[in-house]
Structure 1
Amino acid sequence: MANPPAGPAQRTTVDAARTARMLSDARHAMLSQQRARTATRPVIEASWERAIRGGTHPDHDLRTGVLSREEVERRRGTSPLRHVLPVLREGLVSVADAAHHIVLVADDEGRALWREGSAAVLRKADEVGIEVGTDWREDVVGTNGLGTPAVVRRPVQVFATEHLSRALAGFTCAGAPITDPRDGRLIGVVDVSGPLETMHPATLAWVDSVAKLAEARLRELHLTSIERLRAVAAPILPRLGGRALVVDRDGWTAAVTGMPYAKRIALPKSPSGGRRWMPSLGLCLLEPLAGGWLIRVVDEPAPAATRIVLDLALARRPSMTVSGGAGSWTHELSPRHAELLYLLALHRAGRSAAALAEDMFGDPGRTVTVRAEMSRVRRYLGAFLEHRPYRFSEDAEVEVLLPDDPRELLPHSTAPGVASARGSVRTP
């Protein structure tokens, strides 16, 4: 008698098992430096290469370096993700529980701060070390649904043995980055994980859509806070003479008087009241307001001997520090601004808009995009950038801190000028 045709559940189990074997063969070939019989997805292959190059081991213990409960609570209290937990829970947790998944939320440093979902899957997660406080950075754990989206800055699904870690081979994960809608900075990653056979092809799109809802909620909260601060500034600014502005605690502008509007001002790393030197404004008087700062510009010349340090040593956290006779300022850079400032440091004589467009996009015609980005950079570098051509001012000493491995210089940048410099190890 002929066997009856396989039902949907049987087909899912068979397909999942076949997929797991194929991925396992490809992963084994990669680890043994052999040619795989099955092609690996480019995003996974690139992640494997980064992890192996960085010394990540497949048998890494996930429990190594788990944060203490006190440190987890401290991070929860300061992370912007705390404002969007209701959005993430409403969009993910209830469905994940019913579908035998769990939800993990990690901060910008790859540390899992929240974990919820199916009790059965949570027990399996406990067995292998998928816990709150675990370090999910790709250069620590290898390819995974939290660390890899943080690196490539887009949603990624990692199936079973696409994970570099052997401990994660029984899980399939779909993760999406959450960025600050104000400046594009990564603030965390949300991930849905579960057994391979329970994952649906639409899971990744689902997770990404909820991450986008979280970003929209952050944008709404920002606009509400700016409107509230603008109401505080309304009776104050008209009474002041000269140039002044009111900004929130992160430097986003609520109102100005006597000067052009700037979307954001670079504040001191630890702002306090009194006379402070602001790179984009000069000498200023800072006064605290509810939810922000009143900044009044004092027209005095800039201090001499300004030093600008462009720190690219940490691939995920490029930053710029400006120091001089009136103190030191640090500003975290977006990936695009890090590329532009590196190229300007590389070409101290300056670059035209067309040349920068060629360096950035391989297309000298994209000058509108370059000019828009340089306008944003000038909002916080102000007096230290010149144009026609774009360049650092002659009286600024510029230093660039590079990673030990030249291949890690802005590793996710596809800008031709950066890729060329990366290959030739060109140091400004």
Structure 2
Amino acid sequence: MSDRSIHSAIWSAQDIRSTTRRLATVHEVALTGEALPGAPLESPRAVIGESWRRVLGSGVDPDRDQPQLLLSVAELEHRRQKSQLATVLPVLNEGLLATADAAQQIMVVTDAEGRVLWREGSAPVRRMADRLGFDKGADWTEGVVGTNAIGTALVARRPVLVHSAEHFVRSHQQWTCAAAPLHDPRDGRLLGTVDISGPAHTFHPTTLSLVSAVARLAEGELRTRHHTSLERLRSSAAPVLARLGGRALAVDPNGWVVGVTGLTPPERVALPKAPEAGPLWLPRYGMCALEPLPGGWLIRVGRPEPEAGPSRAVLDVSGRDGATVTVSGPAGSWSHALTPRHAELLFVLAAHPRGRSAAELAEDLFGDGSRTVTVRAELSRLRRHLGGVLAHRPYRFADGVAVELLLPPRPAALLPQSTAPAVVAARRG
């Protein structure tokens, strides 16, 4: 059943019961392989079918709710405070909350791990959600509660509607939900989701479009806030840079560059997750001195190089907190969050320590050995962050760098959003 057909059936006929029965039949066929006598054979929508296959492989029981282990109050508050989504809650509330409440639905905001951080809306529906464990602090990923808009949107990285029997677990099939992922507009990093959920009879075909539009507004607000903070830091850093000799950069706490002297300005510098004032080895620049600025850091470039470069790289694609690479050496260690494409590239290189040519990597990532220009461009971007860690001719981790690869417990959970042939083959073992 296509996205268009489910929307058309509900919008034109307003026959939710009929649509629910059709979806239930599709669900039963997918789980049992047996269709009811005389019932037409239909396939689930692509995004739902892919989710069902993932969930079947994860061992979720369609007939039993898995007990929720909610976050503690302290952990929930900690996640709320560190989440960038806290700053755009007014945008989400203004765009969705009144509509959700009037339509007997609730608005839910999660973090990138699928944990429910905020939940507002219709009081009766909140009580219904409580009975499913759909409460603040709950884990609403596919591996815990099966196919649902939040968990499936986190994997698919796009807005998702899940209606009625498209939910994998039967106790959730009285619900309809629509969720859109929220990304950091600076680097595309996934921040979480915003979701509208309610009883199946409250479904309206424009809900997903509304949720998607409000998610884009929230991302726009994040972008505006980022630009404002950079301008503020740029104003305070300009006189400091003007007085300095040599090479230096002024950056915000996340490494975004607002000013330089003595060198070509990059867009961003890879900083440690918790930088401290003092000597620091940075990719591309070597040994530097880090000094605090109001709202950021001053990086003085040109300190003597350490005796040795990076000696160890840990590539974490276990899925616990997004893909990251952590590099260690004589001057300490630092971590860099990876885009999905860069995670695929480093995974392939870690799996092939002798290296890969551009054509081989193009086959690994795209199934097309001719796409070498794309591969070289991505590796050029990646080496800006991992200077001294990667080598070329062939592309590989540099000699002397010990590589550790952290994989998910189940091969099927490896980089779940990836369609790269090399990753798909690795999932199959």
Taking structure 1 as the reference length, the TM-score comes to 0.89
Amino acid in structure 1 at the alignment position of 2:50: A
> Cα offset for 1:58?
2.9
Q: What whole-Å deviation, never above 9, does each CA across 1:34-64 have from its counterpart, x for those lacking one?
A: 4684321221122122122112223554662
Name the residue aligned to 1:24: 24
Secondary structure of 2:412's aligned partner = helix
Is 1:227 aligned with 2:243? Answer: no
Name the residue aligned to 2:5: none
Name the residue aligned to 1:162: 166
d(CA) in 2 for partners of 1:260, 1:390? 26
| 1:360 alignment partner, one of 356, 365, 373 | 365
Instruction: Call closer, same or farther: CA 1:417–1:315 in 2, change over 3 Å.
Output: farther
Name the residue aligned to 2:421: 416
> Cα offset for 1:263?
1.8
Q: For 1:328-339, what aligned pairs fall within 5 Å after superposition? A: 328-339=333-344
Amino acid in structure 2 at the alignment position of 1:16: I
d(CA) in 2 for partners of 1:35, 1:279? 59
Q: What whole-Å deviation, never above 9, does each CA across 1:138-193 have from its counterpart, x for those lacking one?
A: 11111111111001101111111211223322110011100111111110101111
Q: Is 1:283–1:302's contact at 8 Å kept on the other side of the alignment?
A: no
Q: Is 1:62–1:129's contact at 8 Å kept on the other side of the alignment?
A: no
- Identity in percent: 54
d(CA) in 1 for partners of 2:131, 2:120? 16
Q: For 1:230-241, what aligned pairs fall within 5 Å after superposition? A: 230-241=234-245
d(CA) in 2 for partners of 1:165, 1:295? 52
d(CA) in 2 for partners of 1:257, 1:60? 62
Name the residue aligned to 1:54: 58
Name the residue aligned to 1:392: 397
Report which stretch shifted further, 300-309 or 213-222: 300-309
> Cα offset for 1:204?
1.1
d(CA) in 2 for partners of 1:342, 1:324? 21
Secondary structure of 2:249's aligned partner = strand
| 1:263 alignment partner, one of 264, 267, 276 | 267
Q: Is 2:272–2:333's contact at 8 Å kept on the other side of the alignment?
A: yes
Q: What whole-Å deviation, never above 9, does each CA across 1:389-411 have from its counterpart, x for those lacking one?
A: 43322232223223343333323
> Cα offset for 1:79?
0.6
Amino acid in structure 2 at the alignment position of 1:264: R
Is 1:149 aligned with 2:140? Answer: no
d(CA) in 2 for partners of 1:387, 1:228? 40
d(CA) in 2 for partners of 1:10, 1:271? 57
d(CA) in 1 for partners of 2:49, 2:327? 39
> Cα offset for 1:354?
4.4
Amino acid in structure 2 at the alignment position of 1:92: L
> Cα offset for 1:107?
0.9
Name the residue aligned to 2:97: 93
Instruction: Call closer, same or farther: CA 1:229–1:367 in 2, change over 3 Å.
Output: farther
> Cα offset for 1:361?
2.3
Q: For 1:97-176, what aligned pairs fall within 5 Å after superposition? A: 97-176=101-180
> Cα offset for 1:275?
1.2
d(CA) in 2 for partners of 1:35, 1:394? 58
Secondary structure of 1:313's aligned partner = coil
| 1:202 alignment partner, one of 206, 209, 212 | 206
Q: For 1:281-300, what aligned pairs fall within 5 Å after superposition? A: 281-297=285-301, 298-300=303-305
Q: Is 1:303–1:326's contact at 8 Å kept on the other side of the alignment?
A: no
> Cα offset for 1:349?
4.3
Q: Is 2:105–2:198's contact at 8 Å kept on the other side of the alignment?
A: yes
Amino acid in structure 1 at the alignment position of 2:26: A
Q: Is 2:48–2:147's contact at 8 Å kept on the other side of the alignment?
A: yes
Q: Is 2:113–2:320's contact at 8 Å kept on the other side of the alignment?
A: no
d(CA) in 1 for partners of 2:126, 2:422? 46
Secondary structure of 1:96's aligned partner = helix
Amino acid in structure 1 at the alignment position of 2:168: L
Q: Is 2:362–2:370's contact at 8 Å kept on the other side of the alignment?
A: yes
Amino acid in structure 1 at the alignment position of 2:206: A
Q: For 1:268-279, what aligned pairs fall within 5 Å after superposition? A: 268-279=272-283
d(CA) in 2 for partners of 1:145, 1:284? 46
Name the residue aligned to 1:375: 380
d(CA) in 2 for partners of 1:63, 1:350? 45
Instruction: Structure 2: give runs of 5+ residues left out of the alignment.
Output: 1-9
Instruction: Call closer, same or farther: CA 1:312–1:378 in 2, change over 3 Å.
Output: same
Q: Is 1:315–1:409's contact at 8 Å kept on the other side of the alignment?
A: no
> Cα offset for 1:294?
1.0
> Cα offset for 1:225?
1.1
d(CA) in 1 for partners of 2:325, 2:401? 13
Q: Is 2:310–2:389's contact at 8 Å kept on the other side of the alignment?
A: no
Q: Is 1:279–1:322's contact at 8 Å kept on the other side of the alignment?
A: no
Instruction: Call closer, same or farther: CA 1:304–1:81 in 2, change over 3 Å.
Output: closer
d(CA) in 2 for partners of 1:351, 1:402? 21
Secondary structure of 1:236's aligned partner = helix
d(CA) in 2 for partners of 1:315, 1:364? 32
Instruction: Call closer, same or farther: CA 1:32–1:246 in 2, change over 3 Å.
Output: same
Q: What whole-Å deviation, never above 9, does each CA across 1:302-352 have from its counterpart, x for those lacking one?
A: 525611121222276211111122222222211111011122333444444
Instruction: Call closer, same or farther: CA 1:329–1:34 in 2, change over 3 Å.
Output: farther
Report which stretch shifted further, 334-343 or 368-377: 368-377
